[in-house]
Structure 1
Amino acid sequence: MQAISVSNLSKTFGKRRALDDVSLSVAPGEMVALIGASGSGKSTLLRHLSGFVAADAGEIRVHGELIQTDGRIARNIRAVRAQIGFVFQQFNLVGRLSLLSNVLTGQLHRIPNHRSLFRLFTAAERAFGLKALAEVGIDDYAFQRASTLSGGQQQRAAIARALVQGARVVLADEPIASLDPESSRKVMEMLTRVNRDHGCAVLVSLHQVEIAIKFCPRIIAMQQGRIVYDGPSANLSPAFLAELYRGENDAPYAEDSNVTPLFQPVAVAAAA
């Protein structure tokens, strides 16, 4: 059974085709990077995978559980979403709460409503949260307000929250976009460790191609809402990458590229 399964997913915003017949699968334990220029559909795809947005057509399943089909979100989406950890670009932490309190929110789906409402956690639950913080190397800051921590520390807290949640799939949307190089490295190492030690499938969208190649054995490249490459990161060529990030009205893929994309864009005549 695939960790993520997407079949013929399409989404239109106004006149723009944000996702165009996208199909892909990610196996349990895979570490996969999603690359492409801004507006290529990466973030839109991740939001659909988590059930935040309904598509116009197509189907998504996570570990066999239906997320959505033909424009309808699954009725039990909250229960299914419990196995999906989402790491946002802007950390998505509550600044006035302690780091530990933020991480413990990953358990809210498992505890009774009266305790979740007032964020009342048992000693065992708190110990679990501290263990997750220790795993990402920031347990020394457990009782510090989240707003006082660096961006890299907050992002590692978001990863710890996914661990506490018990996520089987981790989706990360540009998690290092606003971080310095050293913090970026640490966050990617944490995602790699989660993938390796916990067997989570990780799908991470990145603008930094060199980091995607370094940390992810498999790359999925998107352009204009379509998947144009899905394969080993080692097979990406400079010519293909130059074309991937070129404006949509520029020339098609270079003939000397050793990467065969899944579709060839229509050539546009050069300006006179």
Structure 2
Amino acid sequence: MNPLLRIRHLDKHFANGKHALRDINLDIARGEMVALIGASGSGKSTLLRHVAGLVAADGGSESMIEIDGCCVQQGGRIHRDIRKVRSQVGFVFQQFNLVARLPVLVNVLVGSLHRMPWWRSWMRMFNAQERALALDALSRVGIADCHAQRASTLSGGQQQRAAIARTLVQGAKVVLADEPIASLDPESSRKVMEILARINREDGCTVVVSLHQVDIAMKYCARVVALNQGQVVFDGPSASLTPALLRSLYGVQAEELLRPATPSAEGASVHVLPQPHAMPWAAQAA
């Protein structure tokens, strides 16, 4: 079976000289839910942005990224038909990327812009069928009753669910979620991860989610890809990620990944180091 996502020889240097990605080679099958883990600065966000065609790899390199047989970029050049390819890629950002002053329903309807004539998208003229699709997506993520509110009035967890609803309306084949729970409390984090797992299961959507917390990766994703200093240092079953293995891969940075989030008395997220023996992841439219 051909993989839905193919990455070959992906290298990226930034202007400051940092070697952010080092010869990344990955295949991700249709319908997989994969966790991308790593300590801060390991290259997770950079990798996802390359897959979405938001950033180009090193010029003149042998890099190549394909989604469902369509080229995203090759040799450090974004493909000329990237808008068409990008319409199949839903991107869930850590900071939600909603337009705060617009109603939630309109923010979700943005996911349908790539299917509309330019004049309708420019005037935000959505028909009844498109509105029904957006309301159904909001219902699936549990916030249909918020559809008329301004996005700025929602909690962080609700805003992230609206962002996921936007990818449902988009009809994305691949959802890339970049630290989608990093700024959320534990209960909101659980809801967001369960929604991602459900659309992966029910819609057959391929989901790649970057995460800091290994316990959450193990709970929701059968496969984990671990990055360290821009390199893939582990690619396999999440059940194989023991504390000992993580410490051998990351050294002292492993504690950042081994820290489960627990609710404080005020409901905020605090971190508690585990005992040594304990171990329990807006698309651009048009």
What TM-score, normalized to structure 2?
Answer: 0.85
One-letter amino acid matched to 1:29: G
The answer for the alignment partner of 1:75 in structure 2 is 80
- What SS is found at the alignment partner of 2:225? strand
Matches within 5 A, 1:13-162: 13=14, 14-56=16-58, 57=61, 58-162=63-167
Query: What root-mean-square deviation, in Å, do the aligned CA atoms of Structure 1 and Structure 2 show?
Result: 1.0
Q: Is the 8 A contact 1:36 1:244 kept in 2?
A: no
The answer for the alignment partner of 1:6 in structure 2 is 7
Unaligned runs of 5+ in 2: 254-286
The answer for the alignment partner of 2:251 in structure 1 is 246
CA distance in 1 between counterparts of 2:231 and 2:67 reads 21
CA distance in 2 between counterparts of 1:102 and 1:15 reads 38
Judged with a 3 Å threshold, the aligned counterparts in structure 2 of structure 1 residues 247 and 73 are, in CA distance, closer, same or farther, namely farther
- What SS is found at the alignment partner of 2:251? coil
Once the two structures are TM-superposed, the CA of residue 247 in structure 1 deviates from its matched residue by 5.4
Q: Deviations over 1:228-266 (max 9, x none)?
A: 000000011101223444358xxxxxxxxxxxxxxxxxx
CA distance in 2 between counterparts of 1:3 and 1:100 reads 30
One-letter amino acid matched to 1:40: S
Tell me the matched-pair count.
Answer: 248
Once the two structures are TM-superposed, the CA of residue 208 in structure 1 deviates from its matched residue by 1.1
Alignment counterpart, residue 211 of structure 2, candidates 202, 206, 209: 206
The answer for the alignment partner of 2:193 in structure 1 is 188
Alignment counterpart, residue 224 of structure 1, candidates 229, 233, 238: 229
Alignment counterpart, residue 179 of structure 1, candidates 171, 175, 184: 184
- What SS is found at the alignment partner of 1:234? helix
- What SS is found at the alignment partner of 1:246? helix
Q: Deviations over 1:165-202 (max 9, x none)?
A: 00000000000000000000000000001100110110
Q: Deviations over 1:120-174 (max 9, x none)?
A: 1001100000000001111010111110000000001111000000000000000
What TM-score, normalized to structure 1?
Answer: 0.90
Once the two structures are TM-superposed, the CA of residue 66 in structure 1 deviates from its matched residue by 0.1
The answer for the alignment partner of 1:233 in structure 2 is 238
One-letter amino acid matched to 2:244: A
- What SS is found at the alignment partner of 1:103? helix
One-letter amino acid matched to 2:10: L
Unaligned runs of 5+ in 1: 249-272
CA distance in 1 between counterparts of 2:252 and 2:231 reads 15
CA distance in 2 between counterparts of 1:118 and 1:208 reads 42
One-letter amino acid matched to 2:30: P
CA distance in 2 between counterparts of 1:104 and 1:2 reads 30
Structure 1 runs of 4+ off > 3 angstroms?
243-248
